[in-house]
């Protein structure tokens, strides 16, 4: 499966109206596009950074949807009073202990790997990092998206509450450091978000 993520650098005062627009306008429109398997929206109310991610059944569906999604994205940019950056990904790993809900906490980690090291990075995440994270209190799910063309990857780890996410920081850092060392990846950034919309329908891929 594939994913398209749109990073929205919004004015914080427009986040709530933006959430409503994504829920009431964008989601129904995406549901009518062949191959779409749902949408999630992460928000950081302090900085205004939001990340909308749509999932797609295959690469053909992802590419065929670009024109329709572009129109939706342009309209959303106006509602959020935002600039937007788009990236496309292969969904490499999904592990879900249970479904997440609005208000959950999500820690997102951006990584970079050398050409040819993708398989090792995915394997380490799948066999080492995910089992360790699943032991954390409040753990809900984990996913890894990769872009072989750019050597980038992004991990999202969801916790039942923001409190559970914040309580996991020290142990998560230890797990992350170990995974980076084993995979040879480079850490680019770590950020924490509120899960505002949780409607990604991606099956277990672990």
- Cβ atoms 79, 18 nearer than 8 A: yes
- Percentage of the chain beyond pLDDT 70 is 98
pLDDT at 206 over 80: no
Question: What does the pLDDT look like over 17-60, one tens digit per residue?
Answer: 999 999 999 999 999 999 999 999 999 999 999 999 999 999 99
pLDDT at 75 over 70: yes
CATH of domain 2-200: 3.30.70.100
Planar angle of CA 186, 189, 190, nearest 5 degrees: 120
Kindly state the tokens that stand for 185. 């990846």
- Cβ atoms 159, 104 nearer than 8 A: yes
CB-based burial label for 203 (10 Å; 0-12, 13-18, 19+): exposed
Could you tell me the pLDDT band of residue 95, with boundaries at 50, 70 and 90? very high
Planar angle of CA 14, 15, 19, nearest 5 degrees: 120
Reference 126, options 53, 188, 55, 179; nearest CA is: 179
Average pLDDT of the chain is 94
Over the range 124-144, which residues count as b (16 or more CB within 10 Å of their CB) and which as e? Answer: bbbeebbebbbebebbbbbbb
How many Cα atoms are found within 13 Å in the side-chain-facing hemisphere of 1? 24
- Give the range among 27-41, 82-96, 192-206 with minimum mean pLDDT: 192-206
pTM value is 0.94
Q: In this structure, what are the phi and psi dihedrals at residue 138, rounded to the nearest 5 degrees?
A: 85, 5
**In whole angstroms, what separates CA 47 from the centre of its chain?**
17
């Amino acid at each position: 499966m594939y994913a398209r993520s749109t990073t929205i650098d919004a004015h914080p005062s427009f986040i709530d109206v933006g959430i409503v627009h994504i829920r009431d306008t964008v989601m129904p429109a995406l549901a009518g596009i062949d191959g779409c398997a749902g949408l999630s929206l992460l928000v950081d109310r302090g900085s205004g950074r939001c990340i909308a991610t749509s999932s797609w059944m295959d690469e053909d569906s992802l590419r065929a949807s670009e024109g329709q999604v572009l129109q939706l994205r342009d309209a959303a940019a106006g509602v959020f009073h935002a600039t937007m950056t788009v990236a496309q990904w292969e969904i490499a790993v999904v592990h879900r202990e249970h479904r997440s809900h609005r208000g959950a906490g999500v820690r997102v980690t951006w990584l970079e790997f050398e050409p040819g090291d993708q398989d090792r990075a995915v394997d380490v995440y799948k066999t080492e990092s995910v089992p360790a994270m699943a032991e954390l209190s409040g753990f809900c799910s984990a996913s890894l998206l990769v872009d072989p063309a750019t050597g980038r990857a992004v991990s999202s780890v969801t916790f039942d509450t923001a409190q559970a996410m914040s309580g996991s920081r020290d142990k998560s850092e230890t797990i992350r450091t170990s995974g980076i060392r084993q995979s040879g990846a480079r850490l680019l950034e770590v950020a924490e978000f509120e899960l505002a919309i949780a409607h990604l329908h991606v099956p277990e891929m672990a």
